[in-house]
């Protein structure tokens, strides 16, 4: 979790980036094939940073579903990280 659990729409906790980077380094050093999934506060503003830090799976809710234009919001988010 990259937010405090409880409800949707919370802001991403910036220190999560360091935790993701550290976890990704541990996974590499142990030669594991583990995927990192990050859930909470993922937006267009931070999705690329989260992916660059080592996250393989990004879970988003409010960033895609709150604006009403679900398909275009999803495509924009997808474009940000690919």
Q: Give me the number of domains the chain comprises.
A: 1
Give the pLDDT band (50/70/90) at residue 4: confident
Report yes or no on 48 lying in a domain: yes
Q: For 52-68, what is the mean pLDDT?
A: 90
Cβ burial of 80 (10 Å; 0-12, 13-18, 19+) is middle
Distance (Å, rounded) from C-alpha 72 to C-alpha 66?
Answer: 12
At 34 the pLDDT is: 97
Report yes or no on 25 lying in a domain: yes
CB atoms within 10 A of CB 54: 20
Report yes or no on 4 lying in a domain: no
At 12 the pLDDT is: 94
Report yes or no on 5 lying in a domain: no
Report yes or no on 7 lying in a domain: no
Owning domain of residue 51? 16-81
With beta carbons less than 8 A apart as the criterion, state whether 19 and 7 touch.
no
At 72 the pLDDT is: 92
Report yes or no on 6 lying in a domain: no
Give the pLDDT band (50/70/90) at residue 57: very high
Report yes or no on 49 lying in a domain: yes
Residue 61 β-bridge partners:
none
Distance (Å, rounded) from C-alpha 17 to C-alpha 40?
Answer: 12
Report yes or no on 2 lying in a domain: no
């Amino acid at each position: 979790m990259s937010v405090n659990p409880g409800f949707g729409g919370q802001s991403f906790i910036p220190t999560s980036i360091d935790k993701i980077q550290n976890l990704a380094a541990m996974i590499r050093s142990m030669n594991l094939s583990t995927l990192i999934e990050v859930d909470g506060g993922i937006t267009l503003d931070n999705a690329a940073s989260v992916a660059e830090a080592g996250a393989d799976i990004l879970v988003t809710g409010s960033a895609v579903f709150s604006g009403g234009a679900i398909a275009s919001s999803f495509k924009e988010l997808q474009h940000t990280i690919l």
